[in-house]
Amino acid sequence: MNKVTSLFKLVGSNIKYRINGKRCTFPGKKIVDHQEAVDAFLDIGQNKNFQCAYIDETATLILYEGLLVNQHLAKDYSGFLYSAVSYKLGISVDSLSFKVLKHICSSYIQAFNRLGAAFIIPSRKMRYVIKCAKKGILYFWADSCFDIAGSISPLLKDKKVAVLSDHADLIKVQFVREKSNPSNADKYSYSLLAIDSADSIHNTDRSLCFETVDAISMKLLKFSFDTLLIHADIYSLPLLNFISKLKISCFIMDDSIYRIFNIARFHSDDQSRFVPDSDTLYLEDYDKESNPDFEATVFLSKEELKNHGK
């Protein structure tokens, strides 16, 4: 199925279809053409307190089934959703109760309706989520996120930027390396604070989920910044409900977030979209699980790291 066909099937014009035996009408909503994605995003991204998020398959399923239960079209969530969420949380399926999953789904729906933009993967479930969502959200194809990440620097210019990731050390090192290159002066004309989310996640009861979200929220309150980049995970959308109270811009992205800092996942990545250079770092060379004591000073002096946010 090509993009044009899938776009028609996803948004269409007053498409009528059935879900759980009930007939629904879906008026078309705006999805940005791939060729216009970067310009459209840079335009809307200038809005005050702009928030966007990458919606992967698990997030789509959470939103979709959450809507069905909230609308009394289903009494419980599917076994597949219980399994998917428990896997993302790193807990056993038996540890995830209906009450906690309902809380997660409700927080996802609430956060989704706060968004100014969303990166989506077209599907029947996503179509229903869009149908039920508030008006005014601008939708982008999921693969547009990679191109946008490579062009996002104008939205970060002169900002205090924080990035929340489980590879915070690597991002911090690479940011210093890139910023020290005079040819990158315009691209990295902002300060960066790299925050590691791993400690907050591992030191909480993950079966409750929101204990972890609260722990990450409290960690963020220790720092001062006006723009937040988040590497998408199971906690990202629930966290957005807290972030909205801080009145800051927030960008939740998939692995494309690494492109902002000239970091690639693998040496074998498609080079037709991302051309590495001599300063490119690779995630496969730095695996946090196998190298928990990553020593940043292999690349940089301690003084450079100390002053990286200045």
What are the C-alpha distances in Å from 86 to residues 58, 67, 89, 90, 112?
Answer: 11, 19, 5, 6, 21
Instruction: Of 4-8, 20-24, 70-74, give the lowest mean pLDDT range.
Output: 4-8
Pick the most confident of 25-29, 146-150, 203-207, 302-306.
146-150
Element of type H or E holding 238: helix 236-243
In the predicted structure, residue 174 carries a pLDDT above the cut 60: yes
> If we measure between CA atoms, which residue out of 10, 55, 49 comes closest to residue 31?
10
In the predicted structure, residue 302 carries a pLDDT above the cut 90: no
pLDDT band per the 50, 70, 90 thresholds, residue 307: low
In the predicted structure, residue 156 carries a pLDDT above the cut 80: yes
φ, ψ of residue 232 to 5 degrees: the values are -60, 135
- DSSP for 139-186 reads EEETTHHHHHHTT-HHHHTT-EEEEEETTHHHHHHHHHHHHTSGGGTT
Residue 129 or residue 3, greater confidence: 129
Q: Environment class of residue 25 by beta-carbon count within 10 Å: exposed (0-12), middle (13-18) or buried (19+)?
A: exposed
Q: How far is CA 21 from the centre of its chain?
A: 33
Q: Which two tokens stand for residue 130?
A: 């869009």
- Identity of the residue numbered 116: G
Coil vs helix vs strand at 229: strand
Q: Which two tokens stand for residue 85?
A: 């969420």
Contact call for residues 213 and 239 (beta carbons, < 8 A): yes
* pLDDT value at residue 204: 67
Q: Environment class of residue 224 by beta-carbon count within 10 Å: exposed (0-12), middle (13-18) or buried (19+)?
A: exposed
In the predicted structure, residue 225 carries a pLDDT above the cut 90: yes
Q: Give the distance between the most distant pair of CA atoms in the chain.
A: 64
pLDDT band per the 50, 70, 90 thresholds, residue 235: very high
Ranges of beta strands (E only) in the chain are 15-19, 22-26, 31-32, 51-54, 117-120, 138-141, 160-165, 191-196, 227-231, 249-253, 263-264, 281-282
- Identity of the residue numbered 218: M
Contact call for residues 238 and 210 (beta carbons, < 8 A): yes
Task: State the DSSP code for 245.
Answer: G
In the predicted structure, residue 195 carries a pLDDT above the cut 50: yes
Single pTM value for the model: 0.84
pLDDT, mean over the chain: 84
The pLDDT tens digits of the residues spanning 83-140 come to: 999 999 888 999 999 999 999 999 999 999 999 999 999 888 998 999 899 988 999 9
Neighbours of 12 (CB within 10 A): 15
173: Cβ contacts below 8 Å, ≥ 6 apart = 281, 296, 299, 300, 305
* pLDDT value at residue 193: 95
In the predicted structure, residue 234 carries a pLDDT above the cut 80: yes
Angle at 125 (CA atoms; ends 121, 131), nearest 5 degrees? 95
Q: Where along the chain do its domains lie?
A: 3-306
Element of type H or E holding 138: strand 138-141
The pLDDT tens digits of the residues spanning 196-222 come to: 888 777 766 666 778 888 989 999 999
Q: Which two tokens stand for residue 22?
A: 């009930």
Instruction: Of 40-44, 67-71, 123-127, 227-231, give the lowest mean pLDDT range.
Output: 123-127
In the predicted structure, residue 3 carries a pLDDT above the cut 70: no
Contact call for residues 65 and 78 (beta carbons, < 8 A): yes
